[in-house]
Amino acid sequence: MKRQMGRLSYGTGHAGKGASAVASQSPLAPNRLDATFERLKANGEKALIVYLMAGDPSLEDTKRLVLALEEAGADIIELGVPFSDPIADGPVIQRAAQRALANGVSLRSILATVKLLRLRTKIPLVLMLYYNSICAMGYESFCQAAKDAGVDGVIVPDMPPDEAGPLKGPAKAAGLRLIFLLAPTSTAGRRTFVARQSHGFVYYVSLTGITGSKLTDIADVGENVKKIRRVADAPIAVGFGVATPEDAARVSRYADGVIVGSAVVRRIEACRQDPRMVEEVADFVRSLKTALIQKQQPAPEQPA
């Protein structure tokens, strides 16, 4: 398999040519991602976004997990597309990708799974995949296939918005949201450029590292989310390092959404041969959603 040696789209440097004046774009037709964030905002809630590696342990298990996690409180599901040469993935997600690849899972089989899921759920589904997978299928073919399957958004960690031109037109025509990433090291100019190019939500990577790293400086996360909010039209979701219900609650103080990946995939790995695997993972996701809801509720009044 060819490997695309592109830089990560976290955006740590200059915004690139034309960054000082982002071209105006015609409005995008609403989709499930937009509707979900609008509903949650109206209810004073924050989005719980859960990442799964599609095909780990199997595609049939992925279908069961999506439906169970929606019932447990997940608002949006990210489906990872396994790739042989990951860049940003930590060891937990790398092992999940290796298991899925060993099972013969491909982008096309994942899209077929999404199409089957759409018969049973309307939860927003976002694909997280590397550029090579899209390039191999072709921009137009991929976007049309994703639309036909019922995908709502796409995250490509090794494709910065400066280099996403060939994908932007087909994605917009298909109603797919292109979601880009920002990091703590992003400059002010880069922050503005990337935030305004991202649709569906802005993915803020809370730390400089790989997935599965520990979140340590929540105050720094809060400050950077505030800076992004000043220039972003889309909601802001925070990922990397969110491992516990307490982490999720703390991050939700600042963000519109909280992304949990490695902590979920780690539980799948530990329980993948257990008949109660889906129930165990759903219980964990339920605890995350409960923490988010409780964080949004006002503290009870103290007796005089």
Q: Which of 162, 111, 103 is nearest to 133 (CA)?
A: 111
Q: Are 7 and 259 in contact (CB under 8 A)?
A: no
How much helix, strand and coil, in percent to the nearest 5, is found in the chain?
45, 10, 40
Place of tokens 């040469």: 85
Give the active site residues. Answer: 78, 89
Q: How far is CA 250 from CA 23, 204, 217, 245, 253, in A?
A: 35, 15, 11, 9, 6
Residue 183 contacts by C-beta under 8 Å, 6 or more apart in sequence? 10, 11, 12, 204, 205, 208
Q: Mapping DSSP to helix (H, G, I), strand (E, B) and coil, where does residue 34 land?
A: helix
- Structure token digits, residue 147: 């639309």
User: Would you tell me how many other CB atoms lie within 10 Å of the CB of residue 17?
Assistant: 7
CA–CA separation, 127 and 120 (whole Å): 18
Q: Mapping DSSP to helix (H, G, I), strand (E, B) and coil, where does residue 175 land?
A: coil
- 257: which DSSP letter? E
Residue 117 corresponds to which amino acid? L
Q: Mapping DSSP to helix (H, G, I), strand (E, B) and coil, where does residue 130 land?
A: coil
- Structure token digits, residue 70: 């929606």
Place of tokens 């929606």: 70
Place of tokens 């503290």: 299
